[in-house]
Structure 1
Amino acid sequence: MAKTLEAHDKLIREIFEGSYQFEIPDYQRPYAWTTEQAGELFDDLISAMQDARVSGASSQYFLGSIVLIKADRDPKSFVVDGQQRLSTLTILLAVLRVLMPNSASFLTKYLYKEGNPEWGESNEYRLKAREEDADFFRTYVQEQGGLERLVSSTDKLKDSRLRYRENATLLLKKAKALSPADLNALWKFLANDCSLVVISTPDLEAAYRIFSVLNNRGLDLAPIDIIKAQVLGLIRTTAGEVKSRAYAKEWSRIESSLGRDAFGDLFGHIRSIYAKKKQKYILVKEFQEHVTEYKTPIDLVDKVIKSYAEVWDFVRDADFEATEHAETINEHLSWLNRVDFKDWVPPALVYFKRFRQQPKLLAEFFQSLERLTYFLLVTKVGINERIETYAALTKEIEPETFKGDLAALTTLALTDAQKRKFVAALNGDVYEDLPKARMALVLRLESLVRAPGVQLQNAVSLEHVLPQTPPDGSDWLQWFPDENEREAWTHRLANLVPLDRNKNSSASNYDFAKKKSVYFKGKGTASPFILTQEARSENEWTPEILIDRQERLVGVLKKHWALEMSPTESVCEGSERHAFAFDAADY
């Protein structure tokens, strides 16, 4: 009977002598260890070797664990966890072979078993990299003479292959710095005194369960890798090995195109599209439970992952291309991406996927989605209500009968009560009350007051024109003798301006005249921000100026986000505006 689980402490020479033929499955991520991790491994080995030499003790040095899918008595071993460590150790063995030519043939057997061509035997490599990297790894790491060519190469490499070269270069440099005696001692220590715990099971599910318990490093697998393994396994079972390999390459292509982090984010967004509720369990479990195409894996890749990945690519980068309205669409996307939450993405992906060929509809939708999103941000709506709101919007978009008309998306509309709440928040203390929204708000305002087409620069910081702590005897206290009135204005939109570079914080308390020339201007050039230039153009900074400025700036945002009230509400708002200008808390 096949055993379900085996765990053995194995010396490195036992790991690489032939009992295991390690293979990195296609669903694994690319080799990702940087010179930081490779250098740390080498330095740890040297330190442990020196400690053992001083103490005279012969205790094993533990290098961690690896998790394999392996049948009894079959050397073929699929690596679930441990790719980074095994690959780096292989590179180190190749480095030692370069620097110890008298032992080259001996060391080669730990990289591969030489076959006999006359008998039709090919080499049996101790470690097979992912299929797309396997030939490269064999040629430039495992084969004799390959590592020297790799290190001296000036070819433009990326991903795994770049990491192979960088780590080979680093390890070769570090090993060259050792004396011949220390180099020989390092090889003996590595082979005879260093070990890995090898955990193997013939069952894929058990292997991942073990991996999830043991792996804390964050560099090997992620939920998307587990989903990939399961999806490709289903394709292999239902459509065959050739089809599975083709979809493995397509999966890797999509992941490389998006980048690993964005690809992982996409799966969370897809889960939200289907589940329409807050995530309670691990992503793998909820993805399996809610994404209906999971049971038909080819459809999952072709109709869900592939299509949403393409949309997600230009949603996150705000670089949609179309013959019309593309600039408007991308502008709204860029401001959505500045928000500190991404709950808006699922309905955005669904709408974009359905109406990608109708850019006019897209422009109108994302204008309204920007308004809804900034309303939720500025009024500090909680995460649960946010998720419910966007889930409701997704439900309104999904029916086949929906043709893109925004009038049918009631979730996008704001009631007069919501508009009042939005305007009140814009008119209030945005600096201290809205720390997650203040920079996005000021920069959105900046983008709206400048001439169309003028590029917006990112601000380094927000500056209070009226200082938060004005010094005694300053003009500020003459203009704002009432402390309550001064505090009421300090953190509001009218008193905030963006700065384009770091400034000496001590300058923030200068009198207005000096502050204008020193703080809002540098080396003879005016600030690139219109809001800052407007403040600098004033001769004084009094409550009257702030009242007018606040009304104008909030008015710009009200117009942009269509926050006009119904006629009766507008009368009420107008009667309260003057009183509100002096005390936002009374609104």
Structure 2
Amino acid sequence: MAKTLEAHDKLIREIFEGSYQFEIPDYQRPYAWTTEQAGELFDDLMSAMQDARVSGEASQYFLGSIVLIKNDRDPKSSVVDGQQRLSTLTMLFAVLREAMPHAADDITDFLYKKGKVSLGEKNEYRLTAREEDADFFRTNIQEPGGIAQLVANTDKLEDSRLRYRENATLLLAKAKALPPADLIALWMFLANDCSLVVISTPDLEAAYRIFSVLNNRGLDLAPIDIIKAQVLGMIRTTAGEAKSRTYAKEWSRIENALGRDAFGELFGHIRTIYAKQKQRATLVKEFQEHVTEYTAPIDLIDKVIKPYAEVWDFVREADFEATEYAETINEHLSWLNRVDFKDWVPPALVYFKRFRQKPKLLAEFFQSLERLTYFLLVTKAGINTRLEAYAALTKEIEPVAFDGGLAALQTLGLTDKQKREFVNALDGDIYRNLPKARMALVLRLESLVRAPGVQLQDAVSLEHVLPQTPPEGSDWLHWFSDEDERDSWTHRLANLVPLDRKKNSSASNYNFTKKKDAYFRGKGKASPFVLTQEVRSENEWTPTVLVERQQRLVGVLKKHWNLAVASGNTTSVEASLGTN
């Protein structure tokens, strides 16, 4: 009966002389260690070797743990955690072989078992890299002379292959800088006095659970890798090895196009599209339970992952291309992406996937989605409220009969009560009450008051024109002699302007005339922000100025988000703002 878990402390010699044939599965990320990590491994080994030599006592140096999927008697071992370390150790063996030709045969045994040509045997490599790197790794690292060839290679390399060359170059230089006696001592120490804890289990999910407990680095395996392994395994079982390899390459293509982090985020959004509720278990478990195409793995890739990955790229980068409305769509997407939560993404993906060929509908949808999202942001809706709203919106988009018209999307509409709540929040103390929204709001307002097509600068901070702590004897205390009135205006929209950070630090809490000079002097003189330029036209900064400015600026946002309420339902705040 196969054991469910084994863990042993094993010397490097035991590990690399035949007990294991390590294979890096296709679902693993590319080799990613940098020269910093490879150099640290080499330096740690040298330091430990020298300490042992000085003390004269044999001591075992622990190199960490690896997690494998492995059956009892079969040496083949699929690496769940430890790819980076095992690959770098293999590279170090090759470097030492290159630096010590007299020990080449001994070291080669750690790289592969030589096959007997007379018997038609092939070499049995101790480590096989991911399929797309396996031949490169064999030729340039494991085979004799390969490491020197790799270091001398001037071809343009990318990703894992570039990391291999960079680390090989570093390790070879470090090894060749050592005296012969230190080289031999390092090799003997590495082979005989260094160990790894080898944890093996025959089950992928069990291996992943062990990995999750032992590691919090997140460097190697992620939930998307578990899903990938399971999906490709199902394709292999139902459609054959060739089909599985084809889809493994397609999966890698999609992941590389998006980037690993964004690809991982996409799976969370897909889960939410189907589950329509807060995640309560692991992503792997809930993806299996809720995503209906999971049991049809080819459909899962072709009809779910691939099309959603394409629209997710448009959504997160705000770079949709179309013959019309593309600029409008991307503008709304860019402002959605400034919000500090991403709960709006699932319905956005569903709508975009269905109506990608109808840009006019997309423009109308994302305009309304921006309004709903900023309403939830500004009114500080909790995560459960947000999830319920966006889940309801997703349900409204999904019916086959839905033609894309906004009239059927009731969730996108705001009631008069919600509009009043939105306007009141915009008219209030946004700096202290809405720390997660204030920058996005001021910049959204800036984008609306500037000329169309003018690029919006991003490297900004928010400046209080009326300072938060005005100095004694200043004009500020003369204009705002009532402390409560001063406090009520300090943190509202009318008193906040965007500045580049250099100008902000110089403005401080000067008197108004001097502060205006700080805003506009120096390189470029005029601030690139219209809201800030408006300050220059004022001779004084009094409550009267701020009342007019507040009404006008909140009115701009109110008009943009269509927050006018039905006649007869207007609050006193809205009455002061007008109907714009």
Specify the alignment match of 1:190 in structure 2.
Answer: 190
Query: What does 1:16-415 align with in structure 2 at a 5 Å threshold?
Result: 16-415=16-415
AA of the residue aligned to 1:454: V
AA of the residue aligned to 1:305: I
Specify the alignment match of 1:466 in structure 2.
Answer: 466
| 2:31–2:83 Cα contact (<8 Å) kept | yes
Specify the alignment match of 1:565 in structure 2.
Answer: 565
| 1:461–1:498 Cα contact (<8 Å) kept | yes
Task: Flag the 1:289–1:353 CA change in 2: closer, same or farther, 3 A.
Answer: same
| 2:12–2:190 Cα contact (<8 Å) kept | yes
Specify the alignment match of 1:553 in structure 2.
Answer: 553
What is the distance in 2 between the residues matched to 1:524 and 1:247? 54
Per the TM alignment, residue 576 of structure 1 is displaced from its structure 2 partner at its CA by 5.4
Q: Give the TM-score of the pair, scaled to structure 2.
A: 0.96
| 1:278–1:387 Cα contact (<8 Å) kept | yes
What is the distance in 2 between the residues matched to 1:57 and 1:299? 61
AA of the residue aligned to 2:409: L
AA of the residue aligned to 1:450: R
SS at match of 1:94: helix
AA of the residue aligned to 1:441: L
AA of the residue aligned to 1:343: D
Per the TM alignment, residue 385 of structure 1 is displaced from its structure 2 partner at its CA by 0.4
Residues 282-291 or 194-203, more deviating: 194-203
Per the TM alignment, residue 577 of structure 1 is displaced from its structure 2 partner at its CA by 5.5
Residues 302-311 or 58-67, more deviating: 58-67
| 2:423–2:574 Cα contact (<8 Å) kept | no
| 2:555–2:577 Cα contact (<8 Å) kept | no
Per the TM alignment, residue 114 of structure 1 is displaced from its structure 2 partner at its CA by 2.6
**Structure 1 alignment gaps of length 5 or more:** 579-587
AA of the residue aligned to 1:538: E
What is the distance in 2 between the residues matched to 1:197 and 1:227? 26
Considering only aligned residues, what root-mean-square deviation do their CA atoms show, in Å? 1.7
Q: How many pairs are equivalent?
A: 578
What is the distance in 2 between the residues matched to 1:455 and 1:399? 39
SS at match of 1:568: coil
What is the distance in 2 between the residues matched to 1:569 and 1:3? 72
Task: Flag the 1:184–1:352 CA change in 2: closer, same or farther, 3 A.
Answer: same
AA of the residue aligned to 2:350: V
Do residues 535 (structure 1) and 552 (structure 2) align? no
Residues 146-155 or 565-574, more deviating: 565-574
SS at match of 1:77: strand
Residues 350-359 or 492-501, more deviating: 492-501
Specify the alignment match of 1:583 in structure 2.
Answer: none
Task: Flag the 1:18–1:571 CA change in 2: closer, same or farther, 3 A.
Answer: closer
AA of the residue aligned to 1:511: N
What is the distance in 2 between the residues matched to 1:192 and 1:524? 66
Residues 569-578 or 177-186, more deviating: 569-578
AA of the residue aligned to 2:513: A
AA of the residue aligned to 1:403: D
| 2:420–2:571 Cα contact (<8 Å) kept | no
What is the distance in 2 between the residues matched to 1:428 and 1:206? 53
AA of the residue aligned to 2:70: K
Do residues 426 (structure 1) and 423 (structure 2) align? no
Per the TM alignment, residue 224 of structure 1 is displaced from its structure 2 partner at its CA by 0.6
| 1:68–1:201 Cα contact (<8 Å) kept | yes
What is the distance in 1 between the residues matched to 2:485 and 2:424? 17
Task: Flag the 1:535–1:283 CA change in 2: closer, same or farther, 3 A.
Answer: same
SS at match of 2:58: coil
What is the distance in 1 between the residues matched to 2:520 and 2:53? 64
CA displacement 1:179-202 (0-9 Å, x = unmatched): 222222111111000011222233
SS at match of 2:22: strand
SS at match of 1:526: coil
Query: What does 1:445-456 align with in structure 2 at a 5 Å threshold?
Result: 445-456=445-456
| 1:508–1:519 Cα contact (<8 Å) kept | no
Identity of aligned residues (%): 81
What is the distance in 1 between the residues matched to 2:471 and 2:263? 52
Residues 98-107 or 319-328, more deviating: 98-107
SS at match of 1:17: helix
Per the TM alignment, residue 482 of structure 1 is displaced from its structure 2 partner at its CA by 1.2
Per the TM alignment, residue 211 of structure 1 is displaced from its structure 2 partner at its CA by 2.5
What is the distance in 1 between the residues matched to 2:92 and 2:77? 21
